[in-house]
Amino acid sequence: MKTNIRICCIWTLFLFLLNFPPQYTNAQTTNAPNVIIINVDDLGYGDLGIYGATEIKTPNIDALAAKGVRFTNGHATSATCTPSRYALITGEYPWRQGAKILPGDAALIISTDKTTVPALFQQAGYATGIVGKWHLGLGETIEKNWNQPISPGPNDVGFDYSFIFPATADRVPTVFMENGMVLGLEENDPITVNYQQPVGNDPTGAANPDLLKMPASPNHGHNNTIVNGIGRIGYMSGGHKARWTDEEVPLTFLMKAKEFIETNQKKPFFLYYALTEPHVPRMPSTVFKGKSKLGYRGDAILQIDWAVGEVMKQLKALGIEDKTMIIFTSDNGPVLDDGYVDYAVEKNGTHRPAGPLRGGKYSAFEGGTRVPLIISWPGTIKPTVSDALVCQVDFLASFSELIDQRIPNNQAKDSENLLSAFLGQSQKGRDVLIKQGGAMTVTKGNWKYISPQAGAAVAKLTNIETGNSTEEQLYNLREDLGEQKNVAEKYPDKVMEMKSALSDF
Binding mask 25-54 for ligand NG6 (x = CB under 6 A): ----------------xx------------
Residue 171, classed as helix, strand or coil, is strand
d(CA 441, CA 464): 17
User: CA 409 → CA 114, 412, 414, 433, distances in Å?
Assistant: 11, 9, 12, 21
Exactly one of 58, 174, 332, 466 binds Ca ion (CB under 5 A); that residue is 332
Among 34, 168, 224, 392, binds ligand NG6 (CB under 6 A): 168
Residue 169 or 254 with smaller CB distance to Ca ion: 169
Residues of span 15-44 touching Ca ion by CB under 5 A:
41-42
* CB count in 10 Å sphere of residue 308: 25
Site for ligand NG6 (CB under 6 A): which residue of 280, 364, 412, 418? 280
Q: What x-and-dash track marks residues 455-484 binding ligand NG6 by CB under 6 A?
A: ------x-----------------------
CA-based nearest residue to 28, from 159, 160, 122, 124:
124
Which of 67, 243, 258, 279 is the binder for ligand NG6 (CB under 6 A)? 279
> Closest CB to Ca ion among 41 and 394?
41
CA separation for the pair 166, 80 (Å, rounded): 16
Which of Ca ion, ligand NG6, none sits in contact with 104, Cβ below 5 to 8 A by type?
Answer: none
CB atoms within 10 A of CB 402: 23
Residue 214 interacting with ligand NG6 (CB under 6 A): no
User: Exactly one of 198, 203, 209, 221 binds ligand NG6 (CB under 6 A); which one?
Assistant: 221
124 contact, one of Ca ion, ligand NG6, none, CB 5-8 Å limit per kind: none
Residue 92 is a binding residue for ligand NG6 (CB under 6 A): no
Answer yes or no: are the C-beta atoms of 335 and 355 closer than 8 Å. Answer: no
C-alpha to C-alpha distance for 433 and 75, rounded to whole angstroms: 9
Q: Which does 36 bind (CB under 5 to 8 A by kind): ligand NG6, Ca ion, none?
A: none
Question: Is 135 near ligand NG6 (CB under 6 A)?
Answer: yes
Given 164, 233, 388, 421, the residue binding ligand NG6 (CB under 6 A): 233
Element (H, E) at 273: strand 269-274
Who contacts 209 (Cβ-Cβ below 8 Å, separation ≥6)? 215, 223
- Residue 198: cis peptide before it, omega within 30 degrees of 0: no
Q: Which helix (H) or strand (E) holds 441?
A: strand 440-444
Quick one: CA dihedral 116, 120, 121, 125, positive or negative?
positive
371 binds ligand NG6 (CB under 6 A): no
CB 297 within 8 A of CB 344: yes
Q: Which residues bind Ca ion (CB under 5 A)?
A: 41-42, 81, 331-332
Q: Which residues bind ligand NG6 (CB under 6 A)?
A: 41-42, 80-81, 101, 135, 168, 170, 220-221, 233, 279-280, 332, 338-339, 461
